[in-house]
Amino acid sequence: MLSDFETRAYKLREQGFANAANAAEAFMDEGRRVANEGIERAIQAAFSLEEHIQQAIVLAKEGRLLSYDDLPSPWRNNPHIHKGYRFTESKLECIRSAFNISNELVNIWSHALGLVLVLAIALYFYPNTANFTLSTKSDVFVAGVFFVMACLTLVCSTVWHTMNAVADIDAISTFACVDYTGISLLIAASIMTTEYTAFYCDPLSRYIYMSLTAFLGIGGVILPWHPRFNGADMAWARVAFYVGLALTGFMPIVQLGWTHGVDFVYDFYSPISKSMLVYFSGAVVYASKIPERWFPGCFDYVGGSHNLWHAAVLSGILFHYTAMQTFFANAFHRAESGCPSY
């Protein structure tokens, strides 16, 4: 009887092993099937994208600008801008097309000419100010970092809008990330000018806050290289990130309020109200795609949300420069008074 029981148990065990093996094999077969289908779809999508790219190139070679629907999907960013798109196989042709009428003409030259203006301020007007004559080497260095990052932002923006017509998806992704990186650096450099002058008489606090901002700025340089960051559907996420990064500039408020008083905090931050307002307004307009979302096709060449965003960025840089002059003037005044801790 015991032998029969052992025999049945053995058979049940063997049957269980067989069932498990069959189930595992079925699971593996299903996994292979799903993987093969995924690979096949990916190959089909790649062929479809390549066909669309070639079609767009053919249309562009006819010597005309493309419509939104003519573009391959990775080049579609704003469905409310209907026409005026460049598209070319050649990076050199992208540069040449920067001088022709297109829906990127204003975006390219607003920041290219803005770069000339900021360079003029940095190299001519700023060195002839009273603040410059009173500045130490470290003061000039901090101001210089702001100017360099402002110029770099404008260069990155100009490069992106010049080169975003090239028929190379890896290239346009790289150029877009370079553009976003410039914005992160500008925000970090702008914040550092406030921290440097706010704690002009407190080197330890100045070092701590500026180091933290530098760390966040590095994060702001790395994040744009994530594949999802540049998605057309991520505009609001990008705005939220940059607004959040900018708001870290107000971290010293509690300490300044405690050591200097509320009136000092209000007076200190007042000069940057204009730059903050134009940056924030421009970001909201950019993410909302206003006004073209209300009048699709009417702002294809001039007056669209990205044009307005470019105007906001350049205005913000100029407003921050004037605010920085006030920051340094007040910091020098406090230093002359023996750095009171009122």
* Tokens standing for residue 246: 């900018």
Range with lowest mean pLDDT among 37-41, 93-97, 291-295: 37-41
Q: Is the per-residue pLDDT at 165 higher than 90? A: yes
Q: What is the pLDDT of residue 29?
A: 58
Q: Is the per-residue pLDDT at 33 higher than 80? A: no
Kindly state the percentage of the chain with pLDDT values over 90.
Answer: 63
Q: Is the per-residue pLDDT at 43 higher than 50? A: no
* Tokens standing for residue 136: 């130490």
Residue located via tokens 């092993």: 17
Residue located via tokens 């190379």: 168
Q: Provide mean pLDDT across the span 75-83.
A: 95
326 compared with 41, residue with greater pLDDT: 326
Using alpha carbons, select from 319, 302, 274 the residue that is nearest to residue 109.
302
What's the burial of 152, exposed, middle or buried (CB within 10 Å: 0-12/13-18/19+)? Answer: middle
Q: What is the pLDDT of residue 28?
A: 61
Q: Is the per-residue pLDDT at 156 higher than 80? A: yes
List helix spans (H) across 164-297. Answer: 169-198, 203-222, 235-247, 253-260, 262-269, 273-288
d(CA 143, CA 153): 15
Q: What is the CA radius of gyration of the chain?
A: 29
Q: Average pLDDT of the chain?
A: 87
pLDDT, tens digit (0-9, with 9 covering 90-100), for 189-218 = 999 999 999 999 999 999 999 999 998 888
What is the Cβ-side half-sphere exposure of residue 121, based on CA atoms within 13 angstroms? Answer: 21
Kindly state the percentage of the chain with pLDDT values over 70.
Answer: 85
Q: Partners of 262 in the beta sheet?
A: none
